Chains A and B, each alone.
Chain A
């Protein structure tokens, strides 16, 4: 029990006044004091119980009264003690009077400090100043007065003057004032408020050294400094010590609890909250505690309490920063409730209360968030930038700023900021996610890396990886890896999809139902299949957030050519979400790829039922209608598609352009006027697209085609080459058309490039007969007949029912035989000359013989093949099944027959020539043999000659027999020809015999023998031979002429056929007619082209849909 003893005047007795039992009425004590004329210091003791520091005065003694509600009494006592009477009475007691005055000053400055109303606050401060001034008047140099003044100034917020006041004390060398503890503390406080925490800490430490038993406030100061300097553990120790010394609950508990929170220890937070609540109970009007409590409740989600607490705090506090905190709390509460309006208001108020972002940055952040929500990106950006000024390395802020830059489409800046964010905190999955999303557009690879990192981080933290992220990773894998690592994409999609009914489809446990063969065209209606599955107890569920991923997975499967599974997934999507147009479109695209036009159109119809202005569906319908030759409908559909997008969808415009282009070339009558207008229109449309999208490959391609059509090959080639280069750099777009078109231009300009071959290998798996046809034509032009034939045979093998190819093959063979026939004649002569001039060249002769014989033989074979092909064609055409009309077939048949005759003539000529050549050869051989023989002895020569002749003869006979047999076997069908051959062979035999006869009589017998064998025919032979010779000459002429005629006819035929839209390769043209060359090439060009884009370009539609789909999915993420 603390008590004071008041000495009784003039005696040794003392009056004991217990502090706990302070009289209710201060006047009692005053009376005692007055009556006993107690020393003045007792007056103060009663009131103040003289303490070392003014701070302690506030916190301990004064509170005794304050708490007991005895402020009045206190003031009464002190005012009594400073009254003029006292001054007079105690005039010589300077120090005590000063102390009392100072106590009063301190009292009033405290009142001023805690007073919330500005006017009364000012009053209090004025009173306090008066008292201090009074004290100063008693002694100018009294340090405690200066300290008091300093405190007062500090309370008024006048840091500079306060500092000056404290400095006066500290610089005063008179006493030991250098270590004047209150002054030190005051100065420390000033420094603290100026943010010079370490200096402040030094001063506090000095104070502690000087006065080790100093009150808790010093330790409190140390703790605060440490706290501000981020040394939480040390701060906490200091606070604990302070608490031990003195129970400064009101201030300390909140602080300590806040530190606990900062240290992020959950249980300590809770402890801290308990302390805070204690503090709250002890003193319900401390704004700081209120704020912290509110803060706590905010985190526990009790918004109602937050609002109440902060409102109270606002009411009791006038300090800007504190108010700012309160406003901030309120704003935050509203913010989290989604009341952005109010939240924004309060944030704004909060920002207004604390002008410098360095003091309290959080409301700027909040305000930025709200403004972001409102879409006010610029102000939001400036707020966040303020936050960034204070915390330049704050990831959250960096991310938000990055986001805003994205919104303001300043991608570069956004990338920079986000990269910085990820660099600062490489474990922030969110930042990587945003970075990845940003990169998707520009750099898929880097985006994928970012997404992967994000996924890794999320997984490491045990968090659930959002389905969107997995979806994006999958899509990127899908797009970027070019299907090489499609497995990865598939895996990712699977992970994203998790468990569900689709797994059983994907794993092939459940197959699509058996389909009745007749009903297969209505296959898509088998949604019943899913119903049945449901009935069987399989849950057919598809959560909405997985639809996109499932769709993408199906796309992937489709890309991997697993169309079956893809279809089931699409159907599953449609079963659950019948409005998912894209699934219809994909199903239609699959059906289209499988040539199931009917089903495809039905599916598109379904899609249009969902949205009859869906441009994708309309475009696709248009291409389908084109495919089924429904020209007018297609045009309307494309127009509708274009209108549906207000002409912005370049695809529809392109399609219309293409339509016009085909129309220009397809029209049966080929009106040049119509053609020109169509072309012009096409060009106009292409140009329109190009204006909208200057980098549209297809439009550029189309425009170039039109240019080429007009004969401006150089320009068009340039364009094609550019497009080709651009396209080859892009993995999403493959444009074989351009390759082919480039090749066309080269071709038209007379360069037989191998571009076609490249196209074939690169794009069509060698399955495109049209390109093979181009290739064949290139060979044809280059007179590589065998290559041409082989290429055509390949084409026939690929497209067996295309009879045009057979026709072309026949022409190629005929051409080949004609060519070789002409050539062999020439070479035969050369060979003969050689063999005559050179001696001793039997082997060489044999070679020459072979060289002559073989080509002729193969020529004949080829001709036979040609005849067969043509005759087959003529009979086949009589079956009406390849769509030629009656008249054309007739001309066709006529032409084939002509060819057949021509072939016969050729054949005969060949045979004859062969024989003649052989004869000549034989002659030469005889000569050489004779010469050789002459050099040898008579008998030996005789013998040898005999032997050789015998051998030769035998060989000839054998050869002829063999030949005869072979020909008989192979050419049974053309009996007359072979008969003729037979005869000419005999004739040859005969002729040789005659020559021999002339040479030497000794061989006659044997000759006679052989002659005898052939006697029967010899009679006619001579005549026949003569005639034949004439006929041969005639025939040769005839043949040539006829060939020309036929060529002309072929030309005519070709033109007729071409006019009818038959895609003849017009290979039958005469290669030697230069005048028609340009025309022909031009036609070739146009023909080859007019099918080209019709198939290729429109095939682009699925690709386009892909592209359309993926951004969508990204958008969701």
Chain B
């Protein structure tokens, strides 16, 4: 289990890069890396050389989130002005523009089957679900406010502000993380809130289910810790510490044996889940690492594991994961 640096693309964007995801391979092309930046563009990159495939403009204010449909045909990007642009990956044709005011848009993720796009709704304290066929809002999953706290949460923003979303691999559950560190679990089919997971007390900016075990959820928080939860049993299985500052993003490897995380401490770490310890620390970035993403398996004969990381230093790094 290790990472080996393959390629680093300096100045991949004109400004800080805030979001990255892999667009799965289609029959006609291999998987592509999709990045979003403060410079209001979304760019597509061919691996392993990180050649620029295309630049999508049209967003205002920074691009905070990108998501790719499991089919690899369409993708979505969202910016601070709360618009979600859904587009065709290969032609860059706009398929739809989504907004649900006054809800902002933070993290987004397509469900494993590709029928629903879940969007973290920030201050609306909810997750918006969009049907990918009609691009209509189908459901709003609201995070219940904590009991007995009618007084508004203090202004530093430790409210239930929803920042991040993650689908369970079976598509039945949806988890969302919020500013105050609580994690909410929803039953998607019934559009019902199930329970909270506690343990973090600072913003949870990224979370991900294990691809091999639909119960296991990994969360990354500003409290520098990565927690491992049994999302069904409401219990915390363990915690991993090692980052010196906020953990901004995490992703689970396709084999489910490792977690990669990016942090404000400018490092990317690889965690061995058996040892529950960091086995490798990559410090090639010179600023906060805003996103890490494992390339999904599949495609034309591409077996090798790849991890991409993007950072405030405007660069993209690609690693071989083996």
Contact = CB atoms under 8 A, between A and B. Distances in A.
B242 A561 contact: yes
Interface string A968-983: 0010000000000000
Contact of B161 (A593, A801, A872, A880): A801
A936 interface: no
A516 B102 CA distance: 35
A793 B181 CA distance: 22
A137 B214 CA distance: 127
Contact of B240 (A564, A868, A872): A564
Contacts of B82: 868, 872
Nearest to A972: B97
Interface in B266-314: 266, 275-277, 287-288, 312
A969 to B, nearest CB: 8
A801 B16 contact: no
Nearest to A594: B223
B265 interface: yes
A790 interface: yes
Nearest to A865: B60
B104 A766 contact: no
Interface in A809-832: 809
A517 B80 contact: no
Contacts of B158: 595
A95 interface: no
Contacts of B106: 800
A799 B180 CA distance: 12
B224 interface: yes
Contacts of B81: 865, 868-869
Interface residues of A, number: 55
B88 to A, nearest CB: 16
- Interface range, B side: 35 or more
A879 interface: yes
A778 B68 CA distance: 38
Nearest to A862: B60
A594 B198 CA distance: 13
Nearest to A557: B241
A971 to B, nearest CB: 11
Contact of A801 (B15, B157, B244, B246): B157
Interface string A878-902: 1111110000000000000000000
Given A790-B38, A883-B155, A801 B122 contact: yes
A55 B198 CA distance: 100
A767 B246 contact: yes
B153 interface: yes
A796 B80 contact: yes
B80 A765 contact: no
A803 interface: yes
A520 B235 CA distance: 9
Contacts of B156: 802
Interface string B212-232: 000000000011110001100
Interface string B177-207: 0010100000000000001111111100000
Interface in A569-604: 593-597
B155 A882 contact: yes
Contacts of A508: 275-277
A511 B152 contact: no
A182 B161 CA distance: 113
A511 B230 CA distance: 15
Given A563-B224, A800-B161, A883-B153, A517 B196 contact: yes
Given A594-B201, A765-B265, A801-B179, A511 B238 contact: yes
B142 to A, nearest CB: 12
B35 interface: no
B173 interface: no
B218 to A, nearest CB: 15
Interface in A1019-1066: 1062-1063
Contacts of B202: 594-595
A560 interface: yes
A20 B304 CA distance: 111
A869 B101 CA distance: 11
Given A766-B287, A801-B157, A879-B102, A517 B179 contact: no
Interface in A1060-1100: 1062-1063
Interface centre among B124, B152, B265, B266, by most chain A C-beta atoms within 10 angstroms, is B152
B107 to A, nearest CB: 10
A431 B161 CA distance: 62
Contacts of A872: 82, 101-102, 104
Interface string B229-261: 110001111111111111000000000000000
Interface centre among A560, A793, A794, by most chain B C-beta atoms within 10 angstroms, is A793
Nearest to B272: A508
B152 A880 contact: yes
B154 A883 contact: yes
A518 interface: yes
Given A514-B235, A514-B237, A800-B179, A765 B245 contact: yes
Given A514-B235, A515-B235, A802-B157, A562 B241 contact: yes
A927 B143 CA distance: 67
A883 B152 contact: yes
A512 interface: yes
Contacts of A247: none
A565 B238 CA distance: 11
Contacts of A803: 123
B102 A514 contact: no
Interface in A748-795: 765-767, 790, 793-794
B62 interface: yes
Nearest to B201: A595
Given A514-B238, A520-B198, A797 B101 contact: no
B153 to A, nearest CB: 7
Interface in A867-924: 868-869, 871-872, 875-876, 878-883
A318 interface: no
A767 B276 contact: no
A593 B243 CA distance: 13
A766 B312 contact: yes
A113 B42 CA distance: 113
Contacts of B45: none
Interface centre among B18, B155, B265, by most chain A C-beta atoms within 10 angstroms, is B155
B168 interface: no
Contacts of B317: none
A561 B80 contact: no
A521 B198 contact: yes
Given A516-B234, A865-B81, A875-B102, A767 B201 contact: no
B196 to A, nearest CB: 7
Given A517-B198, A520-B198, A766-B288, A563 B181 contact: no
Contacts of B222: 767
B299 to A, nearest CB: 32
Nearest to B94: A969
B159 A793 contact: no
B64 interface: yes
A169 B266 CA distance: 98
B104 A800 contact: yes
Given A515-B236, A861-B60, A594 B123 contact: no
Contacts of A809: 61
A610 to B, nearest CB: 25
Nearest to A882: B155
27 contacts: A508-B275, A512-B239, A514-B238, A516-B234, A517-B195, A517-B234, A520-B199, A564-B225, A594-B225, A595-B181, A765-B244, A767-B222, A793-B38, A797-B18, A800-B104, A800-B106, A800-B122, A800-B179, A865-B81, A869-B81, A872-B102, A876-B123, A879-B102, A881-B153, A882-B123, A882-B159, A883-B154
Given A595-B158, A868-B82, A871-B101, 9 more contacts: A561-B241, A594-B200, A594-B225, A629-B154, A868-B81, A875-B101, A876-B102, A881-B125, A882-B152
Closest 10 CB pairs of A and B: A801-B157, A875-B102, A595-B201, A801-B161, A594-B223, A765-B245, A517-B234, A883-B152, A765-B264, A563-B241
